[in-house]
Chains A and B, each alone.
Chain A
Amino acid sequence: MTATTTQRATPSGAPQHRRSPSRRRPGGSLRRMRQATPLTYFALIMTFILSVFPLWWMFVVATRTTTAASQFPPALVPGANFFHNVGRLFENSSANFMTGLMNSLIASTSVAVSVVFFCSLAGFALAKLQFKGRAFFTVAVVVTMAVPVQIGLVPLLILMDWLGWRGELQSVIVPFMVSGFGVFMMRQYVLQTIPDDLMEAARIDGCSTFRIYWSVVLPALRPAMVVLGLLTFMQTWNEFIWALAVLSPENPTVQFSIQQLNESAFSRDFALMFTGATFATLPLLIIFFVFGRQLVGRIMEGAIKA
C-alpha cells in the first residue's frame, strides 16, 4: 500500500490522543478559517442521531410489545416488557438462543486468545530472531492478508466433512486461530518497542528463546495485544457467513440464532427479534464503551501507516 504519512507513527495499539492540529496554532486567520460554525455542529449532531437511532430503537422495541415496531412516529422511550421478552427469547425453541450465546462467547474468546498468542509468537520471530528465509516469510505473511478466505467456502466445507467437524463448534474456531494481519501488526510493534539490548541481556542471563518471548517480550506487547484481541473478538462475534454455512440451527452462534428468529417467525415477532438483536450486540457495545478510544486511535493509526 502507498504511504500517506509525513508523521512518524507511534507503536500500533498504543492509545493516542491527537488533538486537532489547528488548536496548537494560536491566532491568525487560519484559526478563524478552521473554526467550527453552527453548520458544523448541525452536521455532527445529525451524524450522531443517525448513528445512534437504529441501536436505540432496537433496544426500545426490545422493551415493548411487537406493535411498537410498526408504530409511527417511532417509539423512543423504553417500555416495561424487556424481561418478559428476554424470558420468551430463551424459551424459544427454534432459536436455541442460550446455546448460540454460549457458543459465540466460547468461540470469540478462544479465537482472540489464540490469535494474540500465535501472532505475537510469529511476529516476535520475524522481527527479532535471525534465521534463514526471514525476509521471505515476512513477505509471505503480508501476501496472506490479501487472500479473501470466504471464497474457499465450498472446499472448506468439504474439509470440515473430512474432519467430521460439520456442525461442531471447533469449525468456527480452528480455521481462524491465526491471522496474517495479526502477525504483521505484532511484528511492527515488536520492532518499535523492544530494544535488542534487552534481549541480549536476557540471553546472557541464560534465558531460552521461548523464555525471552514469555518474560521479556509479552509484557511489553500488552497494549498491542489488547487491541488485537478486541478486534479479533469483535470479528469472530460478528462472523455470519461461515457460521451459517457450517453450523446447524441446533448448535448455532448468536448471529445464526437471530437469523433463525428472523426467518422462522410466521407473523413476525419483532419484540422477540429485537431482544435477540440486542443480546447479539451487547458484548460489542460493552467493548465500545470501555475501549472505544483505543479503537479509534488504532483505526486512525492504521490508516496513517497503511
Chain B
Amino acid sequence: MLSRLDVRASPYAFITPFFLLFGVFGLFPLLYTVWVSLHDWSLIGGNEGFAGLDNYVRLVSDEKFWNALFNTLGIFTIAVVPQLLIALMLADTLNRRIRFANVFRMTLILPYITSIAALAIVFSTIFGGEQFGLINQFLTSIGVDPVNWRGDRFASWTAVAVMIDWRWTGYNALIYLAAMQSIPKDVYEAADLDGASRMRQFVQITIPLLRPTIIFTVIISTIGQMQLFTEPVIFAANQSYSGGTQGQFQTVMMLVFQETFDYQNFGYAAAVSWVLFLIVVFMGLINVWLTSRIKGA
C-alpha cells in the first residue's frame, strides 16, 4: 500500500522543488515586472498608484533609453563580430596536428574561468584611469597620441569589447573546434585531391558545415550581451551606472540600475527591463528565423 503511494507520488515530489523555486524566483518576477511597470512605484513609497502606459510613453521619448540601447547594440556588434571570426580561426588552428594540444585548449578556457569583476578591474587599469594606462604608455612610446578611453564613445566601446572578447573568444573557439572535429575527414580528402587550398577548404567546407553551430553561438552571445553590465560598470569606476560623463557607454542594464537605485523609480526601471526582455526575445526569434531560412536554402 505504502509502496503504491510511493510510486505514484514520488515523481511529483522529485520535480516539485525545481518548479516551485523557479516559479517563485524566476517566473513570478518576470511576470510581475509587467505589473510594476504599469505603476508609479518608488523604493520608499512602494506602489503609488496605477499609471497605465505612462512609463512606456516616457521610455519611447527618453533619449537616455535610446542612447543606452544604441550603446548596447554598438558594443555587441564590435565585440561579437571579431570575437567569432577569431574564434573560428583559432579553432581551425587547433584542429591540426599540433604538439601540446591540451595545453593550448586549456589556455582557451582560462579567461572564461576567471572572475569577471576582478579582470574588469585589471583591464580598466590597462586602459588607464586617472593615470596613464599600459596601452596609452605603449602608444606614446611609439609616437602615437594616447586615446581617451573613457571620454570618447567609440574608444570606450572598444575597451569594453576587448574585455568581453578576452573572456569569450576561447570559449567559442572550443565550441567550434568540437563541431569541426565531427566533420568527416573524407570531405577534406576529396577537396584535397581536387587541389583546393587550405584557405579554400576553410571557406567552402568548414564554414558552411559549421553554420548551425555559428548561429548557436550568435544566439548565446546575443542573450548574454544584451544584458551587458559588469564590464562597463567596473570600467566606469566612480560614475558607476551613468556610463561616462555623457553616458557614452551606458548600457540598457546600467540604465535599469540607475533608475532603480539612483532615482529609485521602480516603475520606470521595470518598464525598461520589460522592453529589454522583449528585445532579447525578438532577437532570438530573428536568429531562429535566419536559421530556418539558411537551412531551407
A residues adjacent to B (C-beta < 8 A): 1-7, 18-23, 25, 28-31, 33-36, 40-41, 43-44, 47-48, 50-52, 54-55, 57-58, 69-70, 72, 74, 118-119, 121-122, 124-126, 129-131, 134, 137, 140-141, 144, 146-159, 174-178, 180, 183, 208-210, 213, 234, 237-238, 240-241, 244-245, 255, 258-259, 262-263, 267-268, 270, 273-274, 276-278, 280-281, 284-285, 287-288, 292-293, 295-296, 299-304, 306
Contacts and interface: CB of A to CB of B under 8 A. Distances in A.
Contact of B115 (A2, A284, A306): A284
Pairs of residues from A and B, 5 with the lowest C-beta to C-beta distance, nearest first: A152-B29, A277-B118, A300-B178, A175-B25, A303-B175
Contacts of B210: 4
B107 interface: yes
A89 to B, nearest CB: 13
Given A141-B18, A296-B106, A280 B118 contact: yes
Interface residues of B, number: 118
B22 interface: yes
Contacts of B17: 118, 121-122, 177-178
Residue from the set A213, A296, A304 with the largest chain B CB neighbour count within 10 Å: A296
30 contacts: A2-B215, A3-B212, A19-B101, A25-B185, A41-B98, A48-B103, A50-B166, A54-B119, A54-B122, A54-B123, A54-B166, A137-B15, A137-B19, A147-B30, A148-B280, A150-B253, A152-B32, A153-B260, A154-B260, A155-B32, A155-B35, A157-B266, A208-B3, A262-B237, A273-B121, A280-B118, A295-B113, A299-B178, A300-B178, A306-B175
Contacts of B111: 51
Helix, strand, loop or mixed for chain B's interface?
A: helix
A238 B117 contact: yes
Nearest to A292: B106
Contact of B93 (A43, A69, A175, A263): A43
B185 A22 contact: yes
A126 B173 CA distance: 33
A129 B35 CA distance: 38
Given A155-B29, A159-B28, A48 B97 contact: no
Contact of B130 (A19, A54, A268): A268
A263 B116 contact: no
